[in-house]
Structure 1
């Protein structure tokens, strides 16, 4: 069957039939969907590809806090009904981060600049309401794998995952002005004014130098898919 472009002309595949819509609604009546219903926070921010800093994307994180030290995020390319799941980010406290092996720490990024600069926002949530959570998140580190590179026009999630990094104050890690302006206009906000309201937010006592690896070493990370010997299934008596 020939592939067509789906919803909003962005995704390969046939449009959903009325029968499929009815089946979905029926399933909702009988299934709890408990894990999904735990996502209680929407964050709009930006991410850069570790292997190509020129590629920058607006991201929409739907956040589930599992405990005081750990959050998990489903990341979409938009917050409307046509949003596509483009990756996953894990967020951990500085306490958990410091316990990671040094080689693992290199895959993580800090969140302090992203939050203090007003790049990280909770759309439609008053700053005073978001502030307590922002105080916690400013002291965290994230690891974000992008599995669907929609910014290059991919209509399907093809290729290997890409490691993403957070914006930083360094010139190479700054978000491009048109991208930021477009986001701010969409939500009717000012990142600059939000930044002014966050001057008292503080990060970890010291941002671990193994995080934000590109910032100190000028190198990113890229995955290379290779063929590997397959382990045989263990035979049980």
Structure 2
């Protein structure tokens, strides 16, 4: 793979040359309870902006939106806006939000590793990492605002990768408002690897707001199927969705003896 800067050069160029038009902002579903900020608080904020740096946040500028079911309760599904920094060729880190406006709620974190790094993890650690090929090949995972050619370059880089995701705030339950505050323990999120797992209303609502047809994106990514390897965790949610059907090119490594032996 190329270096992170070269890999994302087309994305940066595209972002600089192409305005994001026709998209409806995704507002948060809930607002946490509390008093309206006072003039003193606003003054402190303005001073902080003028005098303090935000270096750790500066490069978290890759915006990807997809869907997360909770591993232990996949009926709890949520749209997740990822703002990511590609640390190196094999590792990225993302802050998760329930929208893409300044009012969006911070709902969790996700770490992304390459197939190579995942293979080096201890066996018990791998149970925390979900596969990404189903999200990519189904067209569920999008990069709003990027031209399609740049988005496909990004998805090509992420094929065969894995994510470790913790949701700390369920501010949405599907398309409905959720908790007004981050309540309870963090929940380990997973990914969808079969057709019929994601709530169709959730998918349709996201497509309407972004102005992107996920079915068209799926068709445009057909060439990525040849790059897709069997992954761990593809069958994890199968018993929750017995009527779901395989996504072409998405296979569980446990069902592929030759691949399992090779790794």
TM-score grouping bracket, smaller chain normalisation: 0.7 to 0.9
Higher Cα Rg: structure 1 or 2?
A: 1
2: CA distance between counterparts of 1:139 and 1:8?
32
Show the counterpart of 1:100. 121
Aligned to 2:6: none
- The residue aligned with 2:87 is 66
Q: Which residue of 1 aligns with 2:222?
A: 199
**Contact 1:94 1:204 (8 Å CA) reproduced:** no
Q: CA 1:52–1:60 in 2, change beyond 3 Å: closer, same or farther?
A: same
1:168 is aligned, of 193, 203, 221, to 193
- Could you tell me how far 1:213 is from its partner in structure 2? 6.0
The structural deviation recorded for 1:32 is: 1.8
Q: Confirm or deny that 1:87 pairs with 2:108.
A: yes
Q: Do structure 1's residue 13 and structure 2's residue 34 form an aligned pair?
A: yes
The offset of 1:19, in angstroms, is 2.2
Deviations 1:182-220 (A, max 9, x none): 111101110001111111114553313xx34624676xx
Runs (4 or more) in structure 1 with deviation over 4 Å come to none
Unaligned runs of 5+ in 1: 1-6, 219-237
From 108, 123, 141, give the equivalent of 2:162: 141
Task: Give 3-state SS (helix, strand or coil) of 2:212's partner.
Answer: coil
Residue 168 of structure 1, CA deviation: 1.4
In the alignment, what sits opposite 2:44?
Answer: 23
Trace 1:205-224 onto structure 2 (pairs within 5 A).
Answer: 205-208=229-232, 211-212=233-234, 214-215=236-237
CA distance in 1, matches of 2:190, 2:138: 16
The alpha-carbon distance between structure 1 residues 217 and 182, as it changes in their structure 2 partners (threshold 3 A), is closer
Measure the CA separation in 1 of the matches of 2:235 and 2:204.
27
Q: CA deviation at 1:109?
A: 0.7
CA distance, structure 2, for counterparts of residue 106 and residue 216 of structure 1: 15
1:187 to 210, 217, 225: 210
Q: Partner of 2:253 in structure 1?
A: none
TM-score (norm 1): 0.82
Distance 2:202 2:183 in 1: 25
Distance in 2 (CA, whole Å) between partners of 1:87 and 1:17 is 28
Q: CA deviation at 1:70?
A: 0.2
Is the Cα–Cα contact under 8 Å of residues 132 and 160 in structure 2 kept in the other structure? yes
Deviation string 1:66-85 (CA, Å, 9 cap, x unpaired) is 00000001000111121000
1:118-149 alpha-carbon deviations (Å, 9 max, x no partner): 11001111110122221111120001000112
Shift of 1:42: 0.6
Shift of 1:60: 0.3
Cα offset, 1:61, TM superposition: 0.4
Q: TM-score, normalised by structure 2?
A: 0.74
1:157 maps to 2:182:
yes
Counterpart secondary structure, 1:214: coil
CA contact (8 A) 1:170 1:215 kept: no
Aligned partner of residue 222 in structure 2, secondary structure: coil
Aligned residues: 209
Q: Who is 1:230 aligned against?
A: none
What is the CA–CA distance in structure 1 between the aligned matches of 2:239 and 2:209, rounded to whole Å?
35
Task: Name the residue aligned to 1:114.
Answer: 135
Post-superposition CA distance 1:153-181 (Å, at most 9, x none): 3222121110001111154xx21111111
Structure 2: any 5+ residue segments left out of the alignment?
1-27, 241-263
